Amino acid sequence: MRILAFGDSLTAGYNLPPGDAFPVKLEAALRAKGYRVQVINAGVSGDTTAGGRARLDWALADHPDYAIVELGANDALRGLDPAAALANLDAILGQFAAHRVKILLAGMLAPPNLGQDYGRAFNAIYPKLQDKWHVPLYPFFLDGVTLHPELTLPDGLHPNTRGVERIVAGILPAVEALLGPPAVGAAAGKAAP
C-alpha cells in the first residue's frame, strides 16, 4: 500500500533529520503494527493550499492508494482568505477522489491572534469538506504539540522529533481505520515495497 503524505513543512520535516520526518515515523509505526506500507513524503515547506493544488498532478504520479492531506497552516499564518483555502482543498479532494485515492483529511486551526471571525471561518473549512466528501477527519494535525515548547522547535510552530512522535501517536488510530486491518497470512509474508 502506498500512502501519500501530502502537506507542508509539518509533513516535510522542516529542520529535522530526514529520518525524523512525519512520513518516515508514520511508516515505521504502521510497519510495527504489521502493515506493508510505503509512506511517500509529499510535503513542501511553505506550501499553502494553492501551492498544494498546483502541484497535485506531480504528487499523483506516485500512484498512491491513500493520501493524508495536511494543508492550510500557511494559509492561516498568512491570514489568507478561508474561502480560497476551502476552494483549493475542495479541488484537491476532488482530484484524489477522481483517482480513487482514499483520503484522511488532517485539519488545522487558525491562530487566535487573527480574531474570532477569521477563526470561525477558517476552522469551519475541514468539517465542511468532511461532510461534502464523506472522508475521515483528524481534527487538528498538531493536537498535543501546539503550546508545548518541549515538543516544538525554537520557532514554537514546527514539531521537533518528540513532537513528530506525538503527532504520529495521535493520528495513528485514524490512519489504521482508513487502511483497515493489516494483511495476514501469505500476503503479509511478501517482501515490502
In a domain, 191, yes or no: no
Residue 9 falls in the annotated catalytic set: yes
User: CA–CA separation, 40 vs 28, rounded Å?
Assistant: 12
- Cell, residue 36: 506493508
Residue 45 falls in the annotated catalytic set: no
Contact (Cβ atoms closer than 8 angstroms) between residue 29 and residue 5: no
In a domain, 193, yes or no: no
- Flag whether pLDDT at 193 surpasses 80: no
Report helix, strand or coil for 35.
coil
pLDDT in tens, 121-177: 999 999 999 999 999 999 999 999 999 999 999 999 999 999 999 999 999 999 999
In a domain, 163, yes or no: yes
- Reported in sequence order, the residue ranges of the chain that DSSP labels E, i.e. its strands, are 2-7, 38-43, 66-70, 102-106, 137-138
Given this model, what pLDDT does residue 75 score?
A: 98
In a domain, 86, yes or no: yes
pLDDT in tens, 12-69: 999 999 999 999 999 999 999 999 999 999 999 999 999 999 999 999 999 999 999 9
Per-residue confidence at 189, pLDDT binned at 50, 70, 90?
very low
| Catalytic choice (57, 117, 134, 155) | 155
Report helix, strand or coil for 152.
strand
pLDDT in tens, 98-125: 999 999 999 999 999 999 999 999 999 9
Residue 58 structural domain: 2-183
In a domain, 189, yes or no: no
| Catalytic choice (8, 9, 47, 75) | 9
In a domain, 188, yes or no: no
- Cell, residue 98: 477522481
CATH code, domain carrying 9: 3.40.50.1110
In a domain, 143, yes or no: yes
Domain count, the chain: 1
Contact (Cβ atoms closer than 8 angstroms) between residue 141 and residue 108: yes
| Catalytic choice (8, 47, 75, 158) | 158
- Cell, residue 59: 504528487
Q: Are strands 102-106 and 66-70 parallel, antiparallel or unpaired?
A: parallel
Residue 47 falls in the annotated catalytic set: no
